[in-house]
Amino acid sequence: MEKSLYYSDYLHLDKILSSQHPKSFEPGQPKAHDEMLFIMIHQAFEIWFKQILFELDYVLSVFGKEKINDNSEDMNLVLHRLKRVQKIMELLNQQVTVLDTMTPLDFLEFRNLLTPASGFQSVQFRLIEATLGLEMQKRHQSDYYKRANQGGFNETDLSQINTIENKQSLVKLINNWLERMPFFEKDYWFSFLKEDENNQHHPFWISYREIYRSGLTEREAGKIQDFDYVFLEQVPTENAEPERLAMLRSSLSAKAMRAALFIMLYRDFPVFHNSFQILDTLIDIDNALAAWRHAHFRMVRRMIGMRVGTGNTSGAGYLEGAAGSHYIYKDIAGLSTYLIERRKLPALPKELIRKLSFEE
């Protein structure tokens, strides 16, 4: 007779609960009580990181398709699983508060035993960042990330990270998805403004640009040049430094940005419900990751002040720089700069309204 399934066997609790091996508990070492908490918290982080990567694998599989139905079951599940990633990140931010019950003196009892191991060597967290779309050249102190010496990654882990970084990230797939939005085709715009044959831009964006420009205050007048760069690919004649342009638009094309703004403006139409929620959730995930990095920075600064990290980074200084610069979906988050009042939105042509409302 087959043995019935037992709770601890199903969860492999014998392996999980026997996988904590504090260095300070070894013979000849003064036992540091809080090292057990330190290990438990970081193991919990890694388990949740595994779940995040599992969810993101599904999201990538959907956005990687040649054709995507924005109102299919696949996209419903994409939204559901991105929301789950967001909730997991919020939970991780709460877990950091448990680690805060350890004082700096408690940490010093075993800190030196950890060298040169470091949270920097979390392969899974690096894979999460790379999968979402954080590029190497946009990382704070990027030279840290390819180290194979003490405090860096071993060759196996570095190879795994390089493999993921060379694949299409989610932000690139999101860009492709947005660029394919079909609702600017001429068939939908017969009753809109007559297109100026001498103007290369769609009549909707000619109209929207003028409404946006007329709503800017005197102090904001320069924002129209930002609008022209972000959405119309017109590089400003002044203040065109690469760093500034990258702050305006870095990961998405102008075509993708136009589609994203259009979705945000007309999100009340049924066809855009899921699309808007997906874009909004990506911003929430980015913000939750930033909050986690900041919580980590705050915790490290509390524990070791400005001492060098165990992995030979600059410790809190490095973490502070990463927390402030490792945003992935800032292009989408920045769309709010270019919104106009709802009552001033251009009225869409009837042909397009029928399509956006699922009317025949």
In the chain, the domains with their CATH numbers are: 32-356 (1.20.58.480)
Q: Are 136 and 142 in contact, with CB atoms under 8 Å apart?
A: yes
Residue 308 above 60 pLDDT?
A: no
Cα–Cα separations (whole angstroms), residue 171 to 26, 88, 122, 241: 46, 20, 22, 24
For residue 3, what are the contacts with CB-CB under 8 A and spacing of at least 6?
A: none
Say if residue 141's pLDDT is above 80: no
CA distance 56 to 49: 11
Type and span of the H or E element at 35: helix 35-63
**CA 247, 248, 254 angle in degrees (round to 5)?**
135
Average pLDDT on 24-36 reads: 96
> How does the average pLDDT of the chain come out, rounded?
88
Give me the pLDDT at residue 177, please. Answer: 96
Summarize pLDDT for 227-242 with one digit per residue, the tens: 999 999 999 888 778 8
Find how far residue 31's CA is from the centre of its chain. 40
> If you average pLDDT over residues 168-177, what whole number do you get?
96
Q: Cα–Cα distances in Å, from 229 out to 3, 121, 257, 333?
A: 67, 38, 11, 16
Residue 138 scores a pLDDT above 80 = no
Task: Report pLDDT digits (tens) over 192-228.
Answer: 756 555 567 888 999 999 999 999 999 999 999 999 9
Residue 117: per-residue pLDDT: 84
| DSSP state string for 47-71 | HHHHHHHHHHHHHHHHHTSSS--TT
Residue 318 above 80 pLDDT? no
pLDDT of amino acid 317: 56
Query: Which secondary structure element, helix H or strand E, spans residue 22, and what is its range?
Result: none
Rounded Cα–Cα distance for residues 36 and 20 (Å): 7
Higher local confidence (pLDDT), 189 or 204: 204
> What's the pLDDT score for residue 145?
65
Mean pLDDT of the region 148-163 = 81
Render 174-199 in DSSP notation, one character per residue.
Answer: HHHHHHT--TTSGGG-TTSSPP-TT-
| pTM for the model | 0.89
* Residue 12 exposure: Cα atoms within 13 Å on the Cβ side: 3
pLDDT band at 256 (very low <50, low <70, confident <90, very high): very high
Extract the tokens encoding 358. Answer: 């699922």
Q: Lowest mean pLDDT of 23-32, 87-96, 292-301, name the range.
A: 292-301
**Predicted confidence (pLDDT) at residue 306 exceeds the cutoff of 70:** no
Long-range contact pairs involving 344-349 (C-beta distance under 8 Å, separation at least 24): 344/211, 344/215, 345/265, 345/266, 346/192, 346/204, 346/207, 346/208, 346/211, 348/192, 348/266, 349/188, 349/189, 349/190, 349/191, 349/192
**Burial bucket for residue 340 (CB in 10 Å: 0-12, 13-18, 19+):** middle
pLDDT grade, residue 137 (50/70/90)?
low
Looking at residue 297, its pLDDT comes to: 79
Predicted local confidence at residue 144, as pLDDT: 62
| ∠ Cα 159 160 162 (to 5°) | 65
Q: What is the pLDDT of residue 75?
A: 94
Residue 358 has pLDDT above 90, yes or no: no
Share of the chain above pLDDT 90, in %: 61
Predicted pLDDT at 357 = 85
Task: Please give the Cα distance from 160 to 126 (Å, whole number).
Answer: 10
b/e per residue 249-262 (b: at least 16 CB within 10 A): bebbebbbbbbbbb
Nearest residue to 64 via CA among 141, 125, 124, 131: 131
Give per-residue burial for 125-138: e unless 16+ CB within 10 Å, then b.
bbbbbbbbbbbeee
Cα-based torsion angle of the residue sequence 117, 118, 123, 129 in order, rounded to the nearest 10 degrees: -170
What pLDDT does 298 receive? 82
Across the range 141-163, mean pLDDT stands at 75
Do 331 and 259 contact (CB within 8 A), yes or no? no
Asked if the model's pLDDT at residue 139 lies above 70, the reply is no
